[in-house]
Structure 1
Amino acid sequence: MTELNGSLPSWLPLSVLTFAVQMVVYHGVGLWFEWCDRTGRMRAFKMRAVERQSYFELLPRVLINQFFILLPSMMLVQFAGLAFVGAPHLGVLHFLAAMILMGVGHDIVQYAAHRFLLHRPGMIRKLGHSVHHSTGASRAISACYMGYADFFLEIVLPYLLPLIVVAAGADVSFHLLVASLGAIGGLYEHSGYDFSARLPRGVSGLKGRLIDALAAAITSKAHAEHHRRSNVSFSDGFGSPGICDTFFATRWDLVGDRGQPKQNSGQAQNEAAH
């Protein structure tokens, strides 16, 4: 084990270390968002009302999902030699390419599971996705509040399948970075906060385009719209490339509230004339 994991001691599998760091990040950042909710310190960025279920009502299911589904899955893929094993260090190009491919792979796997399984008629309750949609994406800890099958399909598989494909070896820094960023992204999307809210709008020129690009990169609106409408942004959101939602035209800003594609002003005027 020491040989596979570089400087890690033989009693500490890389999958377990990665999980432990992810838990510190997830619950540390989750508590920070909870503190913000209770103190109102970030009220200027709070776009959605605080979740009706309390932090401690949501926490038990979150912990069960993490410790009894995610952790065993991570350990299993390491035991099988599929991930968390191999070269202790990645080259710079491999590291960067693997980071990009993790985002792309996560987008594809999550979209497929989320749209075609979890939102399939009759399956949303059977697979426990209705548990997640009982929340309003307005309390950070609710990111992992979902049915057990739902958690495996929507959280575990989109993380581990791309991880196997990118062949990241046993590079500790890569695994800790991926797990930590994933935790932070999920918490932010479900926190009810939108850090793009105070950015200036309507600025012209290059500065305006840069501000718009920054706003698009840091907004949490996509997943908020998914919770509100259910038929949009299945994998689009903060930290996601949004490839599948763009390709299948299910991105929140491409779909009207009734599930119809949005019309541009010219189309709307032509139809109104008829």
Structure 2
Amino acid sequence: MPSEPALPLFPLALWIWIVQMLAYHGFGLWFEWLDRSGSLSRYKTRPAERMKYSKLLPRVLANQVFVLLPAMLLTQWSGLAFVGSEHVALASALLGFAGLTIGHDIVQYVAHRFILHRPDLMRRLGHSLHHSTVGSRGISACYMSAADFFLEIVCPYLIPLAAVGVGGSNFLFHAVVVSAGAFGGLYEHSGYDFSCVLRQRFDAEPANRLRTMLVKLISSQAHAAHHARGNVSFSDGFGSSNICDTLFGTRWDLVPERKRRTA
């Protein structure tokens, strides 16, 4: 009789969580090194975060260990994700990435705008803790209360993953998803904007159109505007489909800045 395939030593969700931690803290340390060395200071567009890396790290780790990991394991054990065939065709993977991007946009917008930014829930659910940062140190992306982390990070990741039903048990697919998500969140909160180099205008119109498209793709300005203004870009940002903020007119470049009151 043919031997049965060996069962993995640990659940796939655990391995993907480990990849996510390596990506998040690897990119996080890189941005921290950039801050300390000043190597790319010309791209640092927002003032330095007053809270140090060491102050932000414990809460970030607590959220990742005690909220994200159990949620990922429960999702696999309930058969909602990280299960099924290991084979994922390239076309299915590309469609899956697109579906997850749109799903993330929708879930995050609903949770972020209609729950976390409700005046009566902002402090109760602890979203005000995240807004106590200025979004200018990468690791602050996950500096938030446990409830905020669940609604703003865990749900927009796992709900679309289960609803779209993509990836099966393919390690590479899930590893790419979490690594891309980790970089996007850290970059948006790092205070860096690598689109600066593309902001000069060119003589040829096609080059300007390409420049405008690339600026929109790699700019971190949307989430910076959210931290600065609070009433814009609830899911719009680096790597987002930007559908919800565009449809509801809350995209940062569609909403006029509120005038400051003067005495």
TM-score in terms of structure 2 length: 0.94
Amino acid at match of 2:26: G
Partner residue, 2:90: 92
Partners of 1:248 and 1:92 in 2: how far apart? 33
2:144 aligned with 1:143: no
Q: CA deviation at 1:201?
A: 2.3
1:261-272 maps to which residues of 2 (within 5 A)? Answer: none
Amino acid at match of 2:87: H
2:179 aligned with 1:185: no
Q: CA deviation at 1:257?
A: 1.0
Of residues 195-204 and 38-47 in structure 1, the stretch that sits farther from structure 2 once superposed is: 195-204
2:251 aligned with 1:216: no
8 A contact 2:82–2:169 mirrored in 1: yes
Amino acid at match of 1:78: Q
Partners of 1:173 and 1:161 in 2: how far apart? 20
Partners of 2:183 and 2:76 in 1: how far apart? 24
Q: Residue 153 of structure 1 is aligned with which of 148, 151, 154? A: 151
Q: Unpaired runs of 5+ in structure 2?
A: none
Partner residue, 1:53: 51
Partner residue, 2:207: 207
Partner residue, 2:116: 118
Partner residue, 1:262: none
Amino acid at match of 1:192: G
8 A contact 2:199–2:215 mirrored in 1: no
Q: CA deviation at 1:11?
A: 1.6
Q: CA deviation at 1:55?
A: 0.1
1:1-274 maps to which residues of 2 (within 5 A)? Answer: 10-168=8-166, 169-203=168-202, 204-258=204-258
Amino acid at match of 2:189: H
Of residues 167-176 and 107-116 in structure 1, the stretch that sits farther from structure 2 once superposed is: 167-176
Amino acid at match of 1:220: S
Amino acid at match of 1:184: F
Q: CA deviation at 1:258?
A: 1.9
Provide, for residues 51-76 of structure 1, a one-character-per-residue CA deviation record: whole Å limited to 9, x for no partner: 00000000000000000000000000
Amino acid at match of 1:152: F
Partners of 2:8 and 2:39 in 1: how far apart? 44
Q: CA deviation at 1:212?
A: 1.0
Q: CA deviation at 1:10?
A: 2.2
Partners of 2:63 and 2:87 in 1: how far apart? 30
CA RMSD of superposed structures (Å): 1.3
Q: CA deviation at 1:50?
A: 1.2
Provide, for residues 134-182 of structure 1, a one-character-per-residue CA deviation record: whole Å limited to 9, x for no partner: 0001000000000110000000000000000221211111100000000
Partner residue, 1:263: none
TM-score in terms of structure 1 length: 0.90
Partners of 2:121 and 2:163 in 1: how far apart? 28
Identity %: 57
Residue 257 of structure 1 aligns to a residue whose secondary structure is coil
How many residue pairs get aligned? The number is: 254
Amino acid at match of 2:54: F
Partner residue, 1:267: none
Q: CA deviation at 1:200?
A: 4.0
Q: CA deviation at 1:234?
A: 0.1
